[in-house]
Amino acid sequence: MWALGGRKIVPVLIGLGTAAGSLSLASGVDANEIGVVRIGRAGATAARIAIDYKWSLFGLTTEAPGYRELMNEIHLRSALRLKELCCINKGAFIKVGQHVGSLDYLLPPEYVETMRSLFRDAPQSPFSDVLKVLQEDLQENPWEIFREIDENPLGAASLAQVHRAVLKEDGSVVAVKVQHPKVQKQAYMDIAAMEVLVKAAAKLFPEFQFVWLAEETKKILPLELDFLNEGRNCEKMGAKLRKFSFVKVPYIIWKYSTTRVLTMEFCEGGRVDDLAYYQRNGISPTEVYCDISRLFSEMIFKLGYVHCDPHPGNMLVNKTASGRPIISLLDHGVHLTIPEHIRLAYAKMWIAILNADIANMRVHAKELGVEEWFDLLACMLTARSWKGVSTGVQASSISPDELEAIKVKAGTILFGISDVLNKVPREVLLILKTNDLLRGLAYKLQVSNSPCSFTNTSLACSKVVFKQKLKQSRSWWEYLSAGVQMIFTLCRIRCYQLYLKYFAPPSPLIM
């Protein structure tokens, strides 16, 4: 069936795209703006990738000689085809490519490393287009509002770019985020195309279960395209994080903001992954990463409200006059509210992992919809091998050999990983993405073996679980017992954190 389906689909999709392309040439219209061209191009690429896997691996088992090397070659060919598609179609396709590039340890390294370059290679709109969007949305000549606007953007992403500007009315320095002019027009068509294609691929090739990627894009992209929604998120997150003195969330200037333009406070600092900036300014990478780890542990486990795109371009680091590092958290297009039952199951899964409690890992993986893949889920959450998880992730640091083994394994169990991603609650998908972006940051800051990530996680998820026990206590004795246990556990973790900070190198923490 797969061969018949592939032979039918590929010529139709390629023919459809070619015919529309010829029509665009005759009419003088940009081919990339014609929906059928974009859909045909995407469909042909998806079909070629799926057929490549089927044809190249036909009759082979995972134990066959050279299977792993062959699989790596197919992954790389497929990743390059996907990147080419994203770069040509742009817009929502770049966004999806960046999502794939953020899934370290969840997808084969050939995909992640190839697609990660899209964070650097995102397209820029000409400055004339930027001025046109400002004029249309603010309904006033931009030069009547801004005394200066830097022509070169501070940064460009898949949907928008940011320019430094100075307000004419009071001389305030601001950051102006301006949406690429054609993104709105193409985005919804691209979402529909992706949804159709991944569902068709799932029918023809049951091993390839990437429906979750289209579903997440369909849900998230409209939110990211509405900059007023981002502004509201920014204010909400600022209020929730007010207690953290080391975090800054920019304030919004509403009268110069629309669905396609967001004007906000300009935040000074260097990219959070720029080690040269740390050295020039005397900032400790370890201190910054421990702060970020604490911040996101609190968001996920305690607040249940999470910034879901903490890639290095969305965080700046600076320091106060007293020398304390301060982190500016930018780009609030996607925030996640985690339902309490998922937050509790996720916290309990982490406690089971931290205690190397295999039986409870299975129990809580079942609550998250993947009991049969409980061991794989634990490895995906920690970015450790099963040997590392089952013997205690805090009992040893990850070695270069284990890191290499993880990358090799990810390349051979793609179907298992895709099944996990397809079955877990959608909220867990975004948490996994967030975890991987933070792990990538730890690697770039050369603090991957810092124990603060696990101790912050231990502290945050223990608070959540014990508070539930207190809430569910049916007698004063149960309440007292749970309270004493909570105080003892939290004090032990906190003492261990202080010991690590002031007296000792990393060592195991047994909860």
DSSP per position, 6-73: HHHHHHHHHHHHHHHHHHHHHHT--GGG-HHHHHHHHHHHHHHHHHHHHHHTTT--TTSTTHHHHHHH
Q: Which of 68-72, 140-144, 299-303, 499-503 has the lowest mean pLDDT?
A: 499-503
Assess whether pLDDT exceeds 90 at residue 215: no
Q: Place 163 in a pLDDT band, splitting at 50, 70 and 90.
A: very high
Q: Mean pLDDT over residues 231-248, rounded?
A: 95
pLDDT at 129: 95
Rounded-to-integer distance, Cα 244 and Cα 326, Å: 10
pLDDT at 106: 62
Q: Mean pLDDT over residues 425-444, rounded?
A: 83
Share of the chain above pLDDT 70, in %: 79
- Kindly report the pTM of this predicted structure: 0.77
Residue keyed to tokens 């320091």: 319
- DSSP three-state, residue 305: strand
Residue keyed to tokens 């600092």: 269
Q: Which of 75-84, 207-216, 346-355 has the lowest mean pLDDT?
A: 207-216
Rounded-to-integer distance, Cα 177 and Cα 164, Å: 9
Q: Mean pLDDT over residues 454-466, rounded?
A: 83
Q: How many CA atoms lie within 13 A of 46 on its CB side?
A: 28
Assess whether pLDDT exceeds 60 at residue 210: yes
pLDDT at 93: 80
Assess whether pLDDT exceeds 90 at residue 339: yes
Q: Mean pLDDT over residues 490-499, rounded?
A: 68
Assess whether pLDDT exceeds 80 at residue 43: no
pLDDT digits (tens, 9 = 90+) for 441-453: 888 888 876 777 7
Please provide the DSSP assignment of 85-102 as one string: HHHHH-THHHHHHHHHHT
Higher pLDDT, 131 or 420: 131
pLDDT at 203: 63
Q: Mean pLDDT over residues 113-124, rounded?
A: 78
Contact 382, 389 (CB under 8 A): yes
Assess whether pLDDT exceeds 70 at residue 141: yes
Summary mean pLDDT of the chain: 80
At 292, the amino acid letter reads: I
Contact 95, 217 (CB under 8 A): yes
- DSSP three-state, residue 475: coil
Higher pLDDT, 19 or 386: 386
Assess whether pLDDT exceeds 90 at residue 295: yes
Exposure letters 234-248 (e unless 16+ CB within 10 A, then b): beebbeebeebebbb
Q: Place 201 in a pLDDT band, splitting at 50, 70 and 90.
A: low
Q: Place 232 in a pLDDT band, splitting at 50, 70 and 90.
A: very high
Catalytic-residue membership of 331: no
Q: How many CA atoms lie within 13 A of 415 on its CB side?
A: 10
309, 331, 375, 401: which is the annotated catalytic residue? 309
Q: Mean pLDDT over residues 189-205, rounded?
A: 67
Dihedrals φ, ψ of 271, to 5°? -55, 145
Contact 337, 304 (CB under 8 A): yes
pLDDT at 394: 67
At 457, the amino acid letter reads: T
Assess whether pLDDT exceeds 60 at residue 114: yes
How far is Cα of residue 195 from the mean position of the Cα atoms in its chain? 20
At 353, the amino acid letter reads: I
Residue whose C-alpha is closest to residue 345's, from 431, 237, 474, 414: 431
Count the neighbouring beta carbons within 10 Å of the beta carbon of residue 185. Answer: 11
Q: Place 27 in a pLDDT band, splitting at 50, 70 and 90.
A: very low
pLDDT at 169: 93
Contact 507, 396 (CB under 8 A): no
Residue keyed to tokens 């790596």: 72
Higher pLDDT, 290 or 409: 290
What separation in angstroms does the CA of 119 have from each of 217, 387, 418? 17, 33, 23
Assess whether pLDDT exceeds 90 at residue 216: no
Q: Mean pLDDT over residues 61-79, rounded?
A: 85
pLDDT digits (tens, 9 = 90+) for 347-406: 999 888 888 889 999 999 999 999 888 988 888 888 788 888 888 776 666 666 766 666
pLDDT at 19: 42
Contact 175, 264 (CB under 8 A): yes
What separation in angstroms does the CA of 400 have from each of 221, 414, 448? 37, 22, 11
Strand order in the sheet with 247-248: 247-248, 325-329, 315-319, 270-271
pLDDT at 24: 39
- DSSP three-state, residue 408: helix
Q: Which domains does the chain have, with CATH numbers?
A: 2-122+184-223 (no CATH), 124-179+226-266 (3.30.200), 337-502 (no CATH)
Contact 104, 383 (CB under 8 A): yes
pLDDT at 308: 85
